[in-house]
């Protein structure tokens, strides 16, 4: 962006909860950023061949915000980049990034203005005075904006998607999708035309409702919006019908240049006066017009509503007493809030000092801010000088506009400021009390430009721009009303300190005279020793007296400096007073001090007993150490380093946080130790962060001289899944197979969905590979996992006598606990499903968690492995808390405001019974499976039928998982490699209870007989017990000894063999 004009470009920014302005001040040909208000931020800008291409801002936490070109303005006169959009936010350790993408769109802004052009002081040579004077004209102009509409926001593996109606300007829906591609929230926006097309063929749409759909896609909550009707005789908005500030006023008149009377005028007949503008022109604000299309009512999902009642803004210039005038826009007169049962609660507002009704305005529109004056000159042609057009003489031109002059328009965009507002709890006649709010005010003002030429309409500009001195609350007084008397019960007084840190000076230039002829010649210029090429205006200025119609030394321009002041406005003192019913009062006074970075450095409170309680805060940049300097280098400023608490100047306690940089090329700076000292003692450590993972999450923490607490993280390293007390991070492991991490375990298989899983909905099948972890052989460990009730405990090396412990079957799963010692590697191997696998040392305690991202914790396992479940309703609100048996411990219902109300959920009936498997492969028949579904196991906020449907769906899902798929018969094969023995083989069908017995002698590929497919307990017994044998059953399930029994062995057309060998 070229830096060629005399006025500074002012950039407005908004990041997080902060906003302000930036000016790039010229300093020895270097662009120095100046922040308004002053903040300790960093900014970096980059240019390409044509424009400013990227902007990055780093806040006082070291968080970086990157902006890219996002909006372009163009008109018939010029075009320019007008906005840069946020592309990404990056954390100070560069670990976390929020990314935004955009869609391109285009919008056209059309405006209509009217001007009256008055010409007098006619001194043109051989030209007649204009016949039409003043001359009225209407100008319709269009400005095109190439804009960006946010398409998606990606964060921590989740995404918000924005969808638009055709042409990409009106939003249609927003959906929030978590890392599992589950739609967590779905918002739909419904709109309609606010009014029929205006006379320029455009119309405006209004938002009618926002509907929140639940995770199942069903409509759940609806917010409806109602607006005040358009005040118009034909249903159209006429852009010519506008008040002084451009707001619609339904005047009904198309002439809207203000009326000016008795203007001094030098016409063809000599001096006199003249009137300009339509006598009926109406630019006064109109309440019905102002309310047209303005929000009137919000109806909430519960049936309650909020209704807004408006009135005119009233103001006096700078708040000086007198008759107030209507100002720009509307103010709220009353808010009516109705609950779902129809009870209406009112709040009414009165404005101005002592409720006088008016506020403060910096300027009212008048002839000096809506009109311009200029003299026009033409030089006679005389050889060798040739000017085009060939005219000679001069005249004065005054232009009276329907719009505010561009040079002062920013001042007229400021609202009416009220330095006192009273809020009644009710109306001003019927209420329970009131609150009086008072604000300070820093005025802006118009200044006249130097009058280098005599002007009837003086030129105005804004001399001082007080952006950072925004209104602030200076007092809040609460009254209660009793028997029509108001009693003060509480008062807050705020005092601020204004500190100017920089004053940027620029130059405003306005034109007095114009020489519109073109052409150039070589002539004298006072800045050169020899003649140079001069254009028409330069010639008229420097070639005294020859053919110059506007005097020998015309002042073509008038100019004046302007100032943009920046600084900080900080709360210096806050006084809080409570007034007691007996007439006494008590209060506190708190003072605030700030450091050179404008961060709070001291807070001191004098309480009602007269004691001063203070807190002094130091930051890393206050101490010159390598790590603190590293923090300052990446603008990590707003991190307390030391906090000192005192009472009456005597130190009570002090705290200090030291940081560590675990990064190499990228700075990753986190707290390392927290120290505390009592009074004047030395600092002693109280908390240590022993280690972090690569994503900046603490994984090992301890209080000083206390046990270590270790953490496991998952879900894109955003959520904790385990907290273990008294264990190093290397000795623990946990996974519920819900997220992408492995929680310290090693395995390569894939996970699958099982809605009956003890936690979450994902389980692991051991046929996909073992689950392993290296451990210390000299330590005792507890290993806990869950298996389907039909599965056996796993053979784990190092399992001690008396283990495994097998818990009661719950919902088709059982908990199994091993105590392990003497092994360097724990391996979970075998067949079948497994879930909720925990490992920790014997003398430690583990808590585990599963989550649904963006919703909440779904399960929690305590240090004994007992589970607690958290259910959420379709809108993501916590609804039920259940114990391990799925019995309800707590229930919650919500109304609109989120407050708890009495509610009773619907529960299922007893749906226990036999369910048939329905998902067997072709050629197989689904077997029956008994599922225990007691009454009350499932609940619903919708209906009992919905709860029963959940129960039967659960039963069918269990049958589909655990029910057998059987063929008509399975032919059993036996490979017996023992040449001198006979074996008895018994098959017990675990589903039907039927037994099948066979005898096997030496031989390979021998058919034993046929049995139905299913899960079997298989017992193999030799006739001789003088030798130990090795047995295999089904699909390579191994065992050994004199005799052996296999449990839950699937027998089907694929897995049907028995092998016996030495």
Each residue of 495-539: pLDDT tens digit?
999 999 999 999 999 998 888 999 888 888 888 888 888 888 888
Give me the residue label for tokens 């721009």. Answer: 465
- 986 or 953: whose pLDDT is higher? 986
- CA-wise closest residue to 767 among 785, 750, 753, 783: 750
Where does the pLDDT of residue 478 fall: very low under 50, low under 70, confident under 90, or very high at 90 and above? very high
Q: Closest Cα to residue 588, out of 511, 508, 493, 666?
A: 493
**Higher local confidence (pLDDT), 932 or 434:** 434
- What's the CA angle centered on 28, arms 27 and 34, to 5 degrees? 10
pLDDT tens-digit readout, 1007-1029: 999 998 888 999 999 988 778 88
Burial class (CB in 10 A: 0-12, 13-18, 19+), 312: buried
Q: What is the mean pLDDT of residues 389-405?
A: 94
Average pLDDT for residues 877-892, to the nearest whole number? 89
Q: How far apart are CA 348 and CA 344, in angstroms?
A: 13
CA gap 610, 597 in Å, rounded: 31
pLDDT tens per residue across span 160-216: 999 998 876 789 999 999 887 888 889 999 998 887 666 666 667 899 999 988 776
Sign of dihedral through CA atoms 129, 132, 135, 140? negative
Give the distance between the most distant pair of CA atoms in the chain: 144
Rounded Cα distance, 785 and 747, in Å? 15
3-state secondary structure 276-301: ECCCCCCCCCCHHHHHCCCEEEEECC
Of 1028, 963, 1033, residue with least CA distance to 998:
1033
Cα distance from N-terminal residue to C-terminal residue, the chain: 88
| Between 581 and 225, the higher pLDDT residue | 225
Residues 6+ apart with CB under 8 A from 491: 475, 476, 477, 478, 575, 576, 577, 579
Per DSSP (E only), the strands in 121-199 are 135-155, 158-164, 171-177, 183-193
Q: Which pair of structure tokens corresponds to residue 26?
A: 């010229």
How many Å apart are CA 448 and CA 459, to the nearest integer?
A: 6
Higher pLDDT, 368 or 383: 368
- Count CA atoms closer than 13 A to 273's CA, side-chain side: 5
Token pair in block for residue 302 = 């519960």
Q: How far apart are CA 803 and CA 797, in angstroms?
A: 12
What would the pLDDT profile of 486-495 be if each residue is shown by its tens digit? 999 999 999 9
| Residues 1008, 974 contacting (CB under 8 angstroms) | yes
Other C-beta atoms lying within 10 Å of the C-beta of residue 923:
9
- 3-state class (DSSP) for residue 955: helix
* pLDDT value at residue 968: 65
**Mean pLDDT, to the nearest integer, of 547-569?**
81
The pLDDT of residue 627 is above 60: yes
Backbone angles phi, psi at 316, to 5 degrees: -120, 150
The pLDDT, as a whole number, for residue 360 is: 95
- The average pLDDT across 322-329 equals 92
Dig out the tokens for 723 from the structure: 């907290």
The whole-number pLDDT of residue 552 equals: 59
Predicted local confidence at residue 874, as pLDDT: 73
Cα distances from 725 to residues 256, 710, 731, 758, 784, in angstroms, run: 78, 7, 11, 23, 17
> Are residues 909 and 938 in contact, defined by beta-carbon separation less than 8 angstroms?
no
Q: Confidence band (pLDDT; 50, 70, 90) for 1?
A: very low
Could you tell me the two tokens for 222?
């609806």
Closest CA to 433 of 512, 369, 487: 487
Cβ atoms 661, 669 nearer than 8 A: yes
**What pLDDT is stored for residue 4 in this prediction?**
52
| CA quadruple 1026, 1028, 1031, 1037: dihedral sign | positive
Whole-number pLDDT of residue 717: 92
Confidence of residue 3 (pLDDT cuts 50, 70, 90): very low
pLDDT of residue 452 exceeding 80, the answer is: no
234 pLDDT tier (thresholds 50, 70, 90): confident
Q: Stretch 889-912: mean pLDDT, rounded?
A: 72
The predicted pLDDT at position 882 comes to: 93
Q: Which range, of 190-194, 260-264, 320-324, averages the lowest pLDDT?
A: 320-324
- Confidence at residue 683, expressed as pLDDT on a 0 to 100 scale: 96
Instruction: Please state, rounded to an integer, the average pLDDT across all residues of the chain.
Output: 90
Q: What is the pLDDT of residue 546?
A: 47
Taking residues 601-620, report their average pLDDT: 96
* Tokens coding 378: 């033409």
Burial of 481 (0-12, 13-18, 19+ CB in 10 A): middle
Triad 586, 588, 594: Cα angle to 5°: 170
List 265's β-bridge partners, or say none.
Answer: 272
Q: And the tokens for 78?
A: 């010029």
Residues 6 or more apart whose CB falls under 8 angstroms from that of 689 comprise 660, 670, 671, 672, 673, 698, 700, 701
Q: For the chain, give the percent of residues with pLDDT over 70.
A: 95
Q: Look up the CATH number of domain 967-1061.
A: 2.60.40
pLDDT, one tens digit per residue, over 666-725 is 999 999 999 999 999 999 999 999 999 999 999 999 999 999 999 999 999 999 999 999
CB within 8 Å of 170: residues ≥ 6 apart: 164, 189, 191, 205
Residue 604 · residue 572 · CB < 8 Å: no
The residues facing 948 across adjacent strands are none
Do residues 819 and 859 touch, judged by C-beta distance below 8 A? no
* Nearest residue to 346 via CA among 421, 422, 428, 427: 427
Which comes out higher in pLDDT, residue 625 or 543?
625
> What is the DSSP secondary structure assignment for residue 761, as one 8-state letter?
S
Question: Among 858-867, 922-931, 1036-1045, which is the least confidently predicted range?
Answer: 922-931
Q: Kindly report, residue by residue over 71-121, the tens digit of the pLDDT.
A: 998 877 788 889 999 999 999 999 999 999 999 888 888 889 999 999 999
Is the bond leading into 303 cis (omega within 30 degrees of zero)? no
Name the residue with tokens 């197979």: 737
Alpha carbons 429 and 348: distance in angstroms, whole number: 10
Domain boundaries, the chain: 1-95, 595-706, 967-1061
DSSP 254: S
Residue 218 has what pLDDT? 67
β partners of residue 448: 460
Q: Is 447 exposed, middle or buried (0-12, 13-18, 19+ CB in 10 A)?
A: middle
**Segment 405-442, tens digit of pLDDT:** 999 999 999 999 999 999 999 998 999 999 999 999 99
1001 by DSSP, 3-state: which? coil
Q: Which of 383-392, 793-802, 1044-1053 has the highest mean pLDDT?
A: 793-802
- Tell me what pLDDT residue 214 has: 74
Comparing 88-102, 625-639, 899-913, the range with the smallest average pLDDT is 899-913
- The pLDDT of residue 900 is above 60: no
| 564 has a pLDDT exceeding 60 | yes
Please tell me the predicted confidence (pLDDT) of residue 22.
96
Q: Measure Cα distances from 144 to 50, 80, 82, 109 in Å.
A: 20, 11, 11, 6
pLDDT band at 398 (very low <50, low <70, confident <90, very high): very high
Mean pLDDT of the region 937-942: 73
pLDDT(2) > 80: no
- Buried/exposed code over 374-400 (b: 16+ C-beta within 10 A; e: otherwise): bbbbbbebeeebebeeebbbbbbebbb
């Amino acid at each position: 962006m070229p830096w060629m004009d005399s006025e500074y470009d002012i950039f407005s920014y908004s990041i997080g909860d902060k906003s302000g302005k930036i000016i790039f001040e010229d300093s020895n040909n270097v662009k120095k950023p100046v922040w308004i208000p002053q903040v300790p931020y960093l900014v970096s800008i980059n240019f390409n061949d044509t424009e400013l291409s990227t902007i990055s801002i780093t806040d006082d936490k070291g968080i970086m915000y990157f902006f890219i070109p996002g909006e372009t303005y163009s008109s018939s006169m010029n075009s320019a980049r007008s906005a840069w959009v946020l592309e990404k936010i990056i954390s100070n350790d560069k670990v976390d990034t929020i990314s935004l993408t955009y869609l391109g769109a285009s919008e056209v802004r059309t405006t209509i203005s009217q001007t009256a052009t008055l010409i007098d002081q006619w001194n043109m040579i051989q030209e007649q005075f204009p016949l039409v004077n003043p001359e009225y004209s209407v100008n319709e102009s269009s400005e095109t904006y190439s804009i960006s509409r946010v398409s998606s926001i990606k964060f921590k593996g989740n995404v918000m998607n924005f969808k638009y109606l055709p042409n990409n300007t009106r939003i249609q829906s927003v959906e929030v999708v978590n890392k599992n591609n589950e739609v967590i929230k779905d918002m739909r926006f419904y709109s309609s035309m606010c009014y029929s097309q205006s006379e320029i063929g455009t119309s405006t749409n209004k938002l009618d409702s926002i509907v929140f759909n639940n995770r199942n896609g069903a409509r759940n909550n609806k917010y409806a919006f109602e607006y005040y009707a358009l005040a118009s005789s034909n249903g159209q908005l006429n852009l010519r019908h506008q008040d002084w500030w451009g707001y619609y006023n339904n005047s009904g008149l198309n002439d809207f240049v203000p009326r000016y009377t008795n203007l001094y005028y030098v016409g063809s007949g000599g001096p006199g006066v003249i009137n300009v503008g339509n006598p009926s022109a109406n630019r006064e604000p109109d309440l019905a017009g102002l309310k047209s299309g303005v929000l009137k009512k919000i109806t909430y999902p519960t049936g309650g509503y909020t209704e807004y009642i408006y009135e005119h803004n009233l103001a006096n210039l700078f708040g000086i007493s007198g008759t107030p005038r209507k100002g720009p826009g509307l103010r709220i007169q009353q808010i009516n809030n109705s609950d779902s049962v129809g009870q209406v609660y009112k709040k009414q507002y009165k404005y101005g000092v002592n409720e006088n009704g008016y506020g403060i305005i910096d300027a009212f529109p008048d002839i000096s801010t809506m009109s311009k004056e200029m003299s026009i000159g033409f030089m006679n042609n005389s050889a060798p000088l040739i000017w085009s057009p060939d005219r000679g003489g001069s005249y004065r031109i005054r232009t009276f506009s329907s719009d505010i002059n561009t040079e002062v328009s920013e001042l007229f965009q400021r609202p009416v400021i009220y330095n006192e507002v009273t809020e009644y709890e009710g109306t001003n006649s019927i209420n329970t009390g009131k609150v009086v709010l008072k604000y300070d005010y820093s005025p802006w003002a118009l200044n006249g430009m130097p009058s280098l030429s005599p002007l009837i309409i003086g030129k105005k500009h804004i001399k001082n721009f007080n952006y950072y001195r925004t209104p602030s609350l200076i007092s809040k007084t609460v009254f209660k009303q009793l028997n029509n008397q108001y009693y003060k019960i509480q008062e807050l007084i705020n005092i601020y300190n204004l500190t100017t840190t920089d004053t940027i000076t620029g130059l405003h230039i306005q034109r007095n005279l114009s020489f519109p002829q073109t052409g150039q010649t070589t002539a004298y210029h006072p800045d050169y020793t020899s003649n140079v090429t001069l254009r028409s205006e330069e010639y008229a200025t420097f070639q005294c007296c020859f053919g110059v119609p506007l005097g020998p030394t015309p002042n073509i321009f008038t100019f004046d400096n302007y100032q943009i002041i920046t600084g900080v406005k900080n709360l210096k003192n806050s006084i809080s007073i409570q007034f007691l019913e007996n007439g006494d009062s008590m209060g506190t006074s708190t003072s605030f001090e700030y450091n050179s970075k404008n961060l709070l450095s001291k807070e001191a409170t004098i309480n009602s007993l007269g004691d001063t309680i203070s807190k002094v805060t130091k930051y890393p940049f206050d101490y010159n150490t390598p790590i603190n300097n590293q923090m300052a280098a990446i603008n990590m400023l707003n991190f307390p380093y030391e906090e000192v608490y005192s009472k009456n100047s005597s130190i009570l306690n002090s705290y200090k946080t030291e940081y560590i940089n675990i990064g190499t090329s990228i700075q990753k700076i986190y707290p390392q130790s927290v120290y505390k000292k009592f009074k004047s003692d030395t600092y002693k450590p109280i908390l240590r962060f022993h280690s972090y993972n690569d994503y900046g999450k603490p994984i090992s923490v301890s209080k000083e001289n206390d046990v270590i607490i270790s953490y496991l993280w998952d879900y894109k390293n955003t959520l904790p899944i385990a907290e273990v007390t008294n264990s190093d991070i290397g000795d623990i492991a946990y996974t519920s197979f819900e997220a992408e991490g492995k929680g310290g375990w090693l395995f390569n298989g894939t996970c699958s969905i099982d809605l009956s899983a003890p936690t979450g909905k994902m389980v692991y099948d051991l046929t996909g590979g073992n689950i392993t972890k290296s451990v210390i052989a000299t330590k005792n460990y507890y290993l806990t996992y869950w298996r389907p009730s039909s599965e056996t405990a796993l053979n784990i090396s190092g399992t001690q006598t008396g283990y495994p412990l097998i818990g009661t079957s719950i919902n088709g799963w059982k908990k199994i606990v091993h105590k392990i010692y003497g092994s360097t590697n724990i391996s979970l191997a075998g067949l079948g499903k497994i879930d909720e696998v925990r490992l920790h040392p014997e003398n430690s305690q583990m808590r585990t968690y599963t989550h649904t991202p963006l919703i909440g914790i779904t399960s929690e396992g305590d240090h004994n492995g007992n589970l607690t479940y958290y259910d959420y309703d379709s809108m993501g609100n916590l609804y039920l808390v259940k114990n391990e048996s799925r019995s309800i411990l707590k229930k919650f219902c919500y109304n609109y405001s989120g407050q708890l109300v009495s509610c009773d959920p619907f529960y299922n009936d007893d749906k226990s019974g036999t369910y048939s498997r329905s998902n067997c492969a072709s050629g197989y028949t689904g077997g029956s499976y008994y599922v225990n579904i007691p009454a009350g196991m499932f609940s619903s906020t919708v209906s009992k039928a919905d709860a029963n449907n959940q129960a039967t769906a659960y039963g069918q899902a269990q049958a589909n998982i655990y029910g057998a798929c059987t063929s008509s018969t399975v032919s059993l094969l036996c490979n017996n490699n023992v040449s001198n023995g006979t074996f008895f083989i018994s098959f017990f069908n675990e589903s039907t209870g039927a037994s099948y017995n066979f005898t096997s002698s030496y031989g390979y590929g021998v058919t034993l007989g046929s049995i139905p497919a299913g899960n079997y307990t298989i017992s193999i017994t030799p006739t001789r017990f003088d030798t130990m044998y090795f047995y295999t059953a089904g699909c390579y399930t191994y065992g050994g000894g004199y005799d052996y029994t296999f449990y839950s062995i699937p027998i089907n057309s694929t897995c049907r063999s028995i092998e016996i060998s030495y």
